Amino acid sequence: MKKIIVIFLMTVSCILSCKKWDDHIALDSASLGKTIYEQMSENSDLSSFVSYVDKMNLDTLLNSSRNLTVFAPDNEAFANLPDSVKSNDAAIRRFLLNLIALKSYYIRDQTDTSRILMMSGKRVLFANNQFGDADFASSDNVARNGVFHVLKEVVLPLPNIWEFINATKETYKQNAYVASLNYEGQDISQAEIDSIDLETGEPVYKSGTGIVQINTFKQKVCDVGNEDSLFTYIVLTDAAFGQAEATLKPFFKANSEDTAIFNADWYTSKDMVFSGLYDNINSQQTLVSKFGVHYNLNPSTIVSSYKVSNGIVYVVNTAETSLQEKIPVVYIQGENPIGFSSETESALEDIFYRKRYNPITKDTFNDIYVNRGSSGANFYVDYSTNNLLSTTYKVYWVALNDYVVSGQGDDAYGTTANLNQIVQVLNNDSLSTVLFNETGVVEPYTYTETYIGEFVNDAYNWLLSYPDSMPDGSSYLSNPATKIIRLQAPSSNSSPYNLTLDYLKFVPVFN
């Protein structure tokens, strides 16, 4: 008897379940027979949304065969849409496109980090049973050409950080500076050819064609208009920005006062954008810029914050960075020369690029060894840097003076005697102007740093915000602020005239 009852209950349950499944299939079949637009048009709660879809001629899109997701605010939510948006056709179209995606997105597929690319070009967070900050009135409404969700709140397009910077450049000096870093250059891939140079055979491009605008903050620091990444951007209040400028300005003395100010502003602004989203700041967070500068974001310093489409913006009243990190140590690596006093075949044969082991640090390192012997008087190796600011530096080197016997049958090279070598700093645009000239002794098998002397750089006469190169290929990596660092053998009484260098180190002095 018990077995009969169990079988009966199982049969009833199966019948009921099958009926529910049949109802589900019937419902889905009815839904799948209609487009998103047709279903929304039949929903009285979406009449306001549909009327604006019609007004902007987006009904064709929502009726198309394209695979879509639509996030439609209901009438109650739509009533809260600002009049400034409703009365502006461009704004209402942008608002609607910010609610339409060219792919199907379901609640069941949400992750904590889902950011959907909308037809507005913006990405909107689709997570935690929300779209942006809006809750759902209903969701996963399947249609023939995709799915639609009904929202309880409107979701307006947010500016990205670049749009925020430009919108607030009248409010914050920092943003006014960043927004001003625009330079025009000719992009030869877009320019018109005027003629062919008969001597070089190269094309000559028409003046004024292919002109493009470059913002060097976006180029050299970070493209904060990128919707596909998340950033945290710090804006200093005008008072804090002015204080940071005053602190950094002495390191950028120049012939022009404006150059000094603009370089101080660059050094302030370049470390104010950070990769990743840092929100819900309840305690101090340490952020690290692209240039390795740490910023201590303290909740007590935050004046205001703004959500943006690609992250978050904080306005703060203190620049929480270390001057020692902002003005870093400058290294010149021996294995990266830009030239030699002689580049004949015999001279180049005497230059060795080596990998060595430091028994003190237990690390390997790369260096250069110039084995000119008795013929190397006055021989030099040149390096260049754009990183020496207008301050005092203590100069050190690590230079390995050793004697090498090749295991491959080549001639031995090097020496067990002391080497004398000279370090000079020269102006790039006037190599006859020697700014630093010190001789140091390299004792055999020394792996530690040797102090060489103190160098004072009086000026930095170049805008750091200027592009490194332009679209036409012209380069500004060598400029009036560039310094030539020369490692030179003595002129006499110092044979062998060999040179060796792991690195030179310029350490800024802070009073």
The CATH number of the domain holding residue 312 is 2.30.180
Handedness of CA 100, 104, 106, 108 (dihedral sign): negative
Whether residues 258 and 346 fall in one domain: no
Q: Is residue 245 in some structural domain? A: yes
Pairing label, strands 68-73, 146-151: parallel
Domain assignment of residue 200, yes or no: no
Q: Are residues 312 and 165 in the same domain?
A: yes
Please identify which residue in the block is written with the tokens 């877009």. 190
- Report if residue 73 sits inside a domain: yes
Task: Work out the end-to-end distance of the chain between its first and last CA atoms, rounded to an integer number of angstroms.
Answer: 99
Q: Do 345 and 305 lie in a common domain?
A: no
In a domain, 210, yes or no: no
Note whether 315 and 353 are same-domain residues: no
Check whether residue 46 and residue 113 sit in a common domain.
yes
Q: Are residues 365 and 427 in the same domain?
A: yes
Angle, in degrees to the nearest 10, between helices 47-55 and 89-97: 120
DSSP 428-497: TTEEEEEEEEEEEEE-BT--S-EEEEEEE-----S-TTS-SB-TTS-B-SS-TT-EEEEEE--SSS--S-
Domain membership of residue 344 (yes or no) is: yes
Q: Are residues 502 and 359 in the same domain?
A: yes
* Contact (CB, 8 A) for 252 and 245: no
- The DSSP bridge partners found for residue 313 are 233, 306
One domain for residues 347 and 487: yes
* CA-to-CA separations, 206 to 170, 212, 271, in angstroms, rounded: 37, 14, 39
Determine, yes or no, domain membership for 407. Answer: yes
Neighbour order of strands in the sheet with 430-442: 339-340, 380-385, 483-488, 419-427, 430-442
pLDDT at 406: 65
Task: Please give the model's pTM, rounded to 2 decimal places.
Answer: 0.85
The CATH code of the domain that includes 95 is 2.30.180.10
Q: State both tokens at 488.
A: 């030179």
Instruction: Tell me: do 423 and 444 sit in the same domain.
Output: yes
Q: Which residues span the domain enclosing 2?
A: 1-27
Would 156 be classed as within a structural domain? no
Domain end: 277, 298, 320, which one? 320
If asked whether residues 137 and 278 sit together in one domain, one would say no
Shared domain for 135 and 223, answered yes or no, is no
Q: Do 334 and 444 belong together in one domain?
A: yes
Q: Is residue 207 domain-resident?
A: no
Contact between residue 294 and residue 214 where contact means Cβ atoms under 8 Å apart: no
pLDDT in tens, the chain (511 residues): 545 444 444 544 444 444 434 434 344 556 678 999 999 999 999 999 999 999 999 999 999 999 999 999 999 999 999 999 999 999 999 999 999 999 999 998 888 889 999 999 999 999 989 999 999 999 999 999 999 999 999 999 999 999 999 999 999 999 999 999 999 888 778 888 888 888 888 888 888 887 888 999 999 999 999 999 999 999 999 999 999 999 999 999 999 999 999 999 999 999 999 999 999 888 889 999 999 999 999 999 999 999 999 999 999 999 889 999 999 999 999 999 999 999 999 999 999 999 999 999 999 999 999 999 999 999 999 999 999 999 999 999 999 999 988 655 567 889 989 999 999 999 988 888 899 999 999 999 999 999 999 999 999 999 999 999 888 888 999 999 999 999 999 999 888 999 999 999 999 999 7
- 388 DSSP 8-state letter: -
How many domains does the structure of the chain reveal?
Answer: 4
Task: Give me the CATH number covering residue 445.
Answer: 2.60.120.260
pLDDT of residue 192: 86
